[in-house]
Amino acid sequence: MKINKQQIENIRELTQTNNHTSARLYLAKLLGSKNHIKFYSAVSDIQSIYGYKHFYLSQIFSEMETPFMRYLKHTLDNYDEVYGAL
């Protein structure tokens, strides 16, 4: 699967405005990864309650990073471009 240039730019814009969770949620939705959609949606919900990414939430977010990147690497033909936008 390949993410197009406009989608990569959308990811880059979200990341540049410090919306890392939204960038990952957008990407999970593009790929149709139900577990990652659930995870990043839940993180987003909790962030909106606190108004920021709570310390413990950041730890859980970090733990998901490696498996999510592994999933992207195996799924995307243009992983390096996408990773560069994150």
User: Contact 81/10 with Cβ under 8 angstroms?
Assistant: no
- Centroid of chain to Cα 2: 16
Dist. CA 2–CA 79, nearest whole Å: 8
pLDDT tens, position by position, 34-57: 999 999 999 999 999 999 989 999
| Mean pLDDT of the 7-12 span | 98
Look-up of token digits 């936008």: 85
Which helix H or strand E contains 50, and what residues bound it? helix 34-50
- pLDDT at 14 (0 to 100): 98
With a threshold of 0.85, does the pTM exceed it? Answer: yes
Please, which contacts does 9-14 make with residues 24 or more away whose CB atoms are closer than 8 Å? 9/85, 11/82, 11/85, 11/86, 12/85
